C-alpha cells in the first residue's frame, strides 16, 4: 500500500473537470482511492476523512490543487499521475469560429464578443454571487448552477434582476431548458406547447419525461433554484418566469413545480397563476398529496390530448415479497420528497427510510450522485445486507450531464440485492432521445431484477406495496 | 487513458422536428445531390435532408452537425443520422414553425408599412393580390409565373413563393383569420405537384415546408417581428445576407404574404 499527496500550487481547474479527474483516476488499475480537488478547508477535511496524512498539505490553500492517491503499488501511482495530466490537459473541441483569438476573461468582455443573453454560473458557492451580479450588470439572464450560496445573496441577486427585468435561475438550479437547449442536467425534449417553471431540478426533469412519454413537447423549462418558494426569497424568480411564460405565444399550458413550499408563498404563486392568461397547473409537492404524474396528466388533458399510463418495465415476482423496511436511495431531492409523501400517506408501511444523496452534505467535495454512482452502490450493498430491508427504491436520472451508462454500474448490485431477498424498484427519469438510450437502460435494469417505472410516483406506490408484502 | 466520455466523444446534432418522422422511422439510405461550403443536401426517399455545418443557414429540413463529414455515406432512421460511419444522435430539437404572438390587422398593417419602407419596391404584386383575393386558382396562376424562375439552387421565384406562403399562413393565424389557412390548404396539393415538376428538388422541398408554415430561421425572425416581437429592420438585415439572392427574394415573398393577409390595401 502506498499513498501520494501532491500540492500543485496556483493551479486552478473547474469543479466539473476535477470531479472527472478523480473519477478517471479511480478507473486506473490498482488505484484504491483518489481525490483531485482545490485545497479548500472542506476538501482538506474530506481528505483527512479518507485517511490521508495532511502534514504535506500544510500551508496549502484554496488556490492550490490537491492530488491524493492511494494505490497498491508505487507504479500504479505513477500511471495515475500520467492519466491525471492527460485529463487535465484535455480541451473541449470548439467549432473553428469560436477557437479564434484568446478566450474572454470576464463576463463583460465575453458579452461584448458574442450576442449572448444568458450566462451560466458554475463556480464554488462563495464566488457565485460576484459572477452572477456581473452577468446581471452586463444585461444577461443568469442561471446559477452553484449551490452553497447564502440566502441573503440570493435575495439580493433576485432584487437586482427584477430591477433590470432579467431572470435569475438559481442558485442551486440544476436544470433549465430554453428552446430545447439544456443547461445543467437536462433531458432531450421535443419542442411543444408546455412551459415549465420549477424550484426543483429533478421535478422539472420528471415532468419533461412524463410529457415526452405522452408525446407532448416542452418549449421552455426555467429552473428558479431550490429555495425560490421559501419565505425569504418569496418566489421572486418563479413570478418572473411565470410572467415570461405567460407572455410567450408558443406556450399553451404552464406547469409550476416546487419542492414543498412555504404556505404563504405558495398562496401568492397561486394568485399570480390565476391571473395568467395561459392555463397553469400547479405541482407543489406536499400540497394535497398531488403527484408530478397527476400534474403532467392534467397538463396533457388541458391540451385536449389523452394522457397515457406512464411506461413501466415490471419484473415478474418470483416469490412472495417479504414485508419490511422501505429504503430509498435518491439522487434527486424532489423525487425523494414525492416518494416520502406517498410512503407517509400509507399507515401500513412498516417503516420507510429515504435519503437524498444529492443533498449538500453528501456532495461536498465529490461528484453528484447523478454522475457518480459510488456512494449509491455502497449504500445499496449496505441496505441489501440488512435483513429488515424489504425493498430498495432508487432513482436513475438520464439526459445531458448525467452518467453516460448508469445501468451498467447498477445492474450487478441490483442482481446481488435481489439474490439476498430484497426487491429493487427503479424510478427511471429519461426521454426517448436521451443520449443514454432510455429503453435499453430500462431493459438492462429489468434483466438485473429491478422493476422499472417512468413515473416516480408509480415507482413509489409499487415500492410501498412491496414493503407491505403485497405483490403490487 | 481517461474514459471516452470525458473527452466528449458523445456525438450530437441539432435537428428540425420537421424531420422527426424520418429520424425516428426505419433506417433509410440518403443520396447526396448537392453540396456547398457550409452544407450538403440529400434525398431520403421522397424527402430532402440538409446536413449543415454550424455556419449554415438553419433551414426547416436540416440537421446541424459540428463538423461536415468527409465521406458521403448517409443513413437516416432508428433515432439517429449516420454520417460517414458515425452514428449521430439528436441532442437538441428545434421547431421550424414559429408560433407568432397574436396581433391585430391594424398592427400588422402598420408593421407591413415599416417593412415596405426598408425594401426595394416590387414591380409585380400579383401574388400578394391573389392571396388577398382568397381565390385558390388565382394563387396557383400567380405561382406558376414565379415557380422555377431565376437561377441557382433555389430560384428567386421559388424563394418568393416560400416566403409568401409561410407569411400568409402564419400571419393569418396571428390575426385570427381562418380564411388564410383554408386558402393554403386548398392550394397546397396542386402547388406541390407543380413545384415537383417545375422546380429543383431542393427548392421544391422548401416550398413544401413553407406551405405548412415551416421556414428558415431568419424568415421566422422576420415573421415574429411583423407580429410585434423584435425589430423589423434588424430581421430584414439578417435575412438579406442569406444566400446570393435568396434573402431579398424571401423578404419580397414575406411582404407579398403579409399584404395578402392585410387584404392588399397597403
| ipTM associated with this complex | 0.78
What are the structural domains, with CATH classification, of chain A? Answer: 2-89 (3.30.70), 105-302 (3.40.50.261), 312-467 (3.40.50.261)
Mutate to test the interface with A, among B99, B102, B221 (most CBs of A within 10 A): B99
Find which of B4, B17, B38, B92 to mutate to test the A interface (most A CBs within 10 Å of its CB).
Answer: B92
Q: Which pLDDT belongs to residue B85?
A: 79
pLDDT of residue A46 exceeding 60, the answer is yes
Q: Count how many residues are written for chain A.
A: 472
**Cell representation of residue A457:** 410516483
Q: Using one digit for the tens of pLDDT, what is the confidence trace for A380-413?
A: 999 999 999 999 999 999 999 999 999 999 999 9
Of all residues in chain A, the one with the smallest CA distance to B2 is A24
- Using CA atoms of B101, B104, B107, B113 in order, give the dihedral in degrees to the nearest 10: 100
**Closest by Cβ to A24, choosing from B6, B12, B55:** B6
CA distance B150 to B159: 10
- Nearest-CA distance A208 → chain B (Å): 14
A191/B10 CB distance under 8 A: no
Nearest CA-CA distance, residue B127 and chain A, Å: 29
Q: What is the pLDDT of residue B226?
A: 98
pLDDT band at residue A72 under the 50/70/90 scheme? confident
pTM of the model: 0.83
Question: Is the per-residue pLDDT at A89 higher than 60?
Answer: yes
Report how far residue A371's alpha carbon sits from residue A381's, in angstroms, rounded to the nearest whole number: 19
User: In this predicted model, what pLDDT tens digit does every residue of B65-82 receive, in sequence order?
Assistant: 988 877 678 999 988 898
pLDDT over 90 percentage in chain A: 61
Q: What pLDDT does residue B7 have?
A: 31
The conformation of residue A186, written as its DSSP 8-state character, comes to B
A303 at interface of B, judged by CB pairs closer than 8 A: no
> Å from B82 to nearest chain A CA?
15
Asked if the Cβ–Cβ distance from A95 to B54 is below 8 Å, we say yes
> What SS3 class is residue B44?
strand
What's the pLDDT at A380?
Answer: 94
Q: Is the pLDDT of residue A93 over 80?
A: no
Note whether A97 contacts B17, CB cutoff 8 Å: no
Q: Which pLDDT does position A469 carry in this prediction?
A: 86
A97 reaches B (C-beta below 8 A): yes
CA B65 to chain A, closest CA, distance in angstroms equals: 10
Neighbours of B126 (CB within 10 A): 16
Q: Which pLDDT does position A26 carry in this prediction?
A: 86
Residue B221 or residue A285, greater confidence: B221
pLDDT confidence tier of residue A39, bands split at 50, 70 and 90? confident
Does A181 reach chain B within 8 Å, measured CB to CB? yes
d(CA B131, CA B108): 16
Shortest CA distance from A22: residue in chain B: B2
Asked if pLDDT for residue A21 goes beyond 70, the answer is yes
Lowest-pLDDT range of A89-103, A203-217, B88-102, B232-246 = A89-103
H-run or E-run covering B262: none
The pLDDT of residue B129 is: 94
Q: What are the cell numbers at A408?
A: 451498467
* Residues of chain A contacting B6 with CB distance shorter than 8 Å: 20, 24, 87, 90
In this predicted structure, what is the pLDDT of residue B37? 81
Strand runs labelled E in B46-192 = 47-52, 62-64, 74-77, 80-83, 86-94
Give the lowest-confidence range in A351-355, B43-47, B52-56: B52-56
pLDDT in tens, B180-198: 999 999 999 999 999 998 8
Mean pLDDT of A242-251: 95
Of A109, A88, A116, which Cα lies nearest the Cα of A20?
A88
Q: Which residues sit opposite B87 in a β-bridge?
A: B82
Gap between the Cα atoms of B92 and B97, Å rounded: 16
First-to-last alpha carbon distance for chain B, in angstroms, is 68
CA distance B165 to chain A (A): 20
DSSP characters over B62-101: EEE-SS--SS--EEEETTEEEETTEEEEEEEEE-SS--PP
Amino acid at each position: 500500500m502506498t499513498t501520494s499527496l501532491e500540492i500543485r500550487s496556483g493551479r486552478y481547474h473547474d469543479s466539473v473537470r476535477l470531479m472527472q479527474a478523480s473519477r478517471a483516476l479511480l478507473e486506473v488499475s490498482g488505484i484504491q482511492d483518489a481525490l483531485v480537488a482545490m485545497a479548500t478547508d472542506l476538501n482538506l477535511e474530506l481528505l483527512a476523512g479518507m485517511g490521508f496524512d495532511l502534514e504535506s498539505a500544510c500551508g496549502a490553500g484554496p488556490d492550490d490543487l490537491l492530488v491524493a492517491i492511494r494505490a497498491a503499488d508505487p507504479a500504479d501511482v505513477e500511471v495515475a499521475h500520467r492519466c491525471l495530466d492527460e485529463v487535465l490537459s484535455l480541451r473541449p473541441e470548439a467549432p473553428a469560429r469560436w477557437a479564434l483569438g484568446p478566450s474572454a476573461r470576464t463576463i463583460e468582455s465575453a458579452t461584448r464578443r458574442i450576442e449572448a443573453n444568458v450566462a451560466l454560473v458554475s463556480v464554488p458557492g462563495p464566488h457565485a454571487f460576484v459572477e452572477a451580479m456581473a452577468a446581471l450588470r452586463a444585461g444577461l439572464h443568469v442561471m446559477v448552477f452553484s449551490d452553497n450560496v447564502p440566502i441573503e445573496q440570493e435575495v439580493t441577486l433576485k432584487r437586482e434582476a427584477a430591477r433590470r427585468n432579467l431572470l435569475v435561475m438559481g442558485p442551486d438550479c440544476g436544470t433549465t431548458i430554453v428552446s430545447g437547449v439544456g443547461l445543467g442536467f437536462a433531458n432531450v425534449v421535443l419542442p411543444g406547447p408546455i412551459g415549465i417553471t420549477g424550484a426543483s431540478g429533478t421535478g422539472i426533469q420528471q415532468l419533461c419525461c412524463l410529457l415526452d412519454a405522452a408525446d407532448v413537447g416542452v418549449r421552455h423549462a426555467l429552473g428558479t433554484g431550490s429555495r425560490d418558494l421559501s419565505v425569504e426569497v418569496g418566489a421572486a424568480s418563479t413570478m418572473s418566469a411565470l410572467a415570461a411564460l405567460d407572455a410567450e405565444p408558443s406556450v399553451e399550458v404552464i406547469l409550476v413545480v416546487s419542492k414543498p413550499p412555504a404556505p404563504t408563498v405558495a398562496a401568492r404563486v397561486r394568485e399570480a397563476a390565476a391571473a395568467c392568461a395561459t392555463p397553469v397547473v400547479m405541482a407543489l409537492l406536499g400540497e394535497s398529496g398531488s403527484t408530478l404524474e397527476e400534474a403532467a396528466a392534467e397538463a396533457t388533458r388541458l391540451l385536449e390530448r389523452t394522457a397515457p399510463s406512464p411506461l413501466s418495465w415490471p419484473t415478474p415476482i418470483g416469490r412472495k415479497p417479504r414485508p419490511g423496511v422501505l429504503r430509498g436511495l435518491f439522487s434527486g431531492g424532489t423525487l425523494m420528497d414525492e416518494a416520502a409523501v406517498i410512503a407517509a400517506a400509507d399507515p401500513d408501511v412498516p417503516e420507510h427510510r429515504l435519503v437524498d444523496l444529492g443533498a449538500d452534505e453528501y456532495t461536498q467535495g465529490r461528484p453528484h450522485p447523478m454522475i457518480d454512482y459510488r456512494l449509491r452502490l455502497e449504500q445499496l450493498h449496505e441496505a441489501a445486507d440488512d435483513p429488515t430491508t424489504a425493498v430498495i427504491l432508487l432513482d436513475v436520472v438520464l439526459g445531458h450531464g448525467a452518467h453516460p451508462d448508469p445501468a451498467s454500474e447498477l445492474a450487478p448490485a441490483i442482481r446481488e440485492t435481489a439474490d439476498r431477498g430484497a426487491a429493487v424498484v427503479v424510478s427511471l427519469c429519461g426521454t426517448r432521445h436521451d443520449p443514454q438510450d432510455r429503453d435499453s437502460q430500462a431493459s438492462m435494469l429489468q434483466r438485473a431484477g429491478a422493476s422499472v417505472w417512468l413515473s416516480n410516483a408509480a415507482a413509489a406506490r409499487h415500492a410501498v406495496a412491496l414493503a407491505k408484502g403485497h405483490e403490487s | 487513458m481517461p474514459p471516452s466520455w470525458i473527452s466528449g466523444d458523445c456525438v450530437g446534432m441539432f435537428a428540425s422536428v420537421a424531420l422527426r418522422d424520418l429520424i425516428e422511422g426505419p433506417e433509410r439510405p440518403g443520396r447526396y445531390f448537392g453540396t456547398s461550403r457550409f452544407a450538403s443536401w440529400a434525398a431520403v426517399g421522397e424527402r430532402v435532408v440538409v446536413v449543415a455545418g454550424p455556419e449554415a443557414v438553419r433551414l426547416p429540413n436540416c440537421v446541424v452537425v459540428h463538423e461536415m463529414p468527409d465521406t458521403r455515406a448517409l443513413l437516416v432512421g432508428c433515432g439517429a443520422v449516420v454520417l460517414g460511419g458515425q452514428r449521430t444522435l439528436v441532442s437538441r430539437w428545434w421547431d421550424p414553425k414559429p408560433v407568432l404572438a397574436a396581433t391585430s390587422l391594424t398592427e400588422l398593417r402598420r408593421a407591413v408599412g415599416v417593412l415596405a419602407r426598408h425594401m426595394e419596391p416590387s414591380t409585380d404584386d400579383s401574388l400578394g393580390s391573389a392571396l388577398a383575393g382568397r381565390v385558390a386558382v388565382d394563387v396557383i396562376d400567380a405561382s406558376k409565373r414565379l415557380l422555377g424562375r431565376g437561377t441557382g439552387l433555389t430560384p428567386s421565384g421559388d424563394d418568393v413563393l416560400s416566403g409568401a406562403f409561410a407569411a400568409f399562413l402564419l400571419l393569418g393565424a396571428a390575426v385570427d383569420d381562418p380564411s388564410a389557412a383554408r386558402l393554403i390548404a386548398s392550394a397546397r396539393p396542386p402547388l406541390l405537384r407543380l413545384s415537383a415538376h417545375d422546380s429543383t428538388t431542393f427548392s421544391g422541398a422548401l416550398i413544401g415546408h413553407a406551405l405548412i408554415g415551416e421556414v428558415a430561421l431568419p424568415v421566422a425572425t422576420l415573421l415574429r417581428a411583423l407580429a410585434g416581437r423584435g425589430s423589423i429592420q434588424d430581421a430584414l438585415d439578417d435575412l438579406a445576407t442569406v444566400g446570393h439572392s435568396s434573402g431579398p427574394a424571401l423578404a419580397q415573398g414575406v411582404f407579398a404574404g403579409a399584404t395578402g393577409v392585410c387584404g392588399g390595401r397597403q
